[in-house]
Amino acid sequence: MWCQSCKEEYEEEDAGTCKECYEEASETEEELKREIDELRSRFNFLRLPSPTTLDAASAPHSDLLLHAIPSSSSPGAGGDADAGRNPETPAVPAHRFILASRSPVFRAMLENEMEESRSGVIKIYDVSYDVLRTFVHYMYTAEALLDEQMASDLLVLAEKYEVKQLKTYCEKLLTSKVNNDNAIVHYAFAHRHSAKQLLEASLSVVMDNMSTLADREEYKELVEKDPRLVVEIYEAYLNRQVNTAAGKDADCSSRK
């Protein structure tokens, strides 16, 4: 027989679908592609020009200024490499309406009679200028170019201001980067910021490498700083062992 898709001949044992199903599937694919085009064009319409590409004075109709205040007291907490080095970073212009629409925290801040609402100036603590700019850019465009460091800094900010979409986006990237070298750090981070998907992925990698766990520096640090998290690793590991054993038993008895 001849395949209608790749136009090559194939044997009966390599048969896939009947003609009707093939045609249906082709139609479905076309429909899905049309839906994607349609959605993409509506998405592009809704994207807003990000004011982060402009300085505060020239951003049109901007009615808000955001100031990044890096945490000089605890370097490393927010990935703020420029903390202290450059304390007088420029303000990031923005629009009250946009921030209030994207974040319930900004909404509460701006729609009530709070200092920020009166002054039109919001200080964003423990964050570098670059992270703040990327954060604001995302609020307007639903787009951000992330490396791992930026993803974890942004995740923290997204959690603080309850921007769920951005938190999920960062978490997805971090989850895709989990490996044996960073699993313990990611595990502790995910715990701190209630990132369930990242927690599961990193815990799974940690459990796959239990034999070398205790030798790791990050492990020793975690035992020092937050031993309860270490306990949870062991509990999950034990749990998995018990389940695996139960699975094997069930397998054996069904073979008998």
Residues 10-29 that bind its own copies (CB under 8 A): 10, 12, 14-23, 25-26, 28-29
Radius of gyration of the chain from its Cα atoms, rounded to whole angstroms = 25
Is residue 213 within 8 A of residue 219, CB to CB? The reply is yes
**Beta strands across the sheet bearing 121-125:** 92-94, 64-69, 121-125
50: closest CA among 135, 141, 134?
141
Our CA angle for 56, 61, 63, nearest 5°, is 65
Binding piece for its own copies, criterion CB under 8 A, among 78-86, 100-108, 122-130, 197-205 = 100-108
User: Of 68, 83, 92, 98, which one interacts with its own copies (CB under 8 A)?
Assistant: 98
Interacting span for its own copies (CB under 8 A) from 82-90, 92-100, 198-206, 213-221:
92-100
Minimum distance of its own copies from residue 50's CB (angstroms): 10
The residues near 199 (Cβ < 8 Å, ≥ 6 apart) are: 187, 190, 191
Residue 48 interacting with its own copies (CB under 8 A): yes
H or E element that contains 27? helix 19-46
Q: Does 96 bind its own copies (CB under 8 A)?
A: yes
Residue ranges binding its own copies (CB under 8 A) = 1-6, 8, 10, 12, 14-23, 25-26, 28-29, 32-33, 35-36, 39-49, 60-63, 95-98, 100-102, 110-111, 141-142, 165
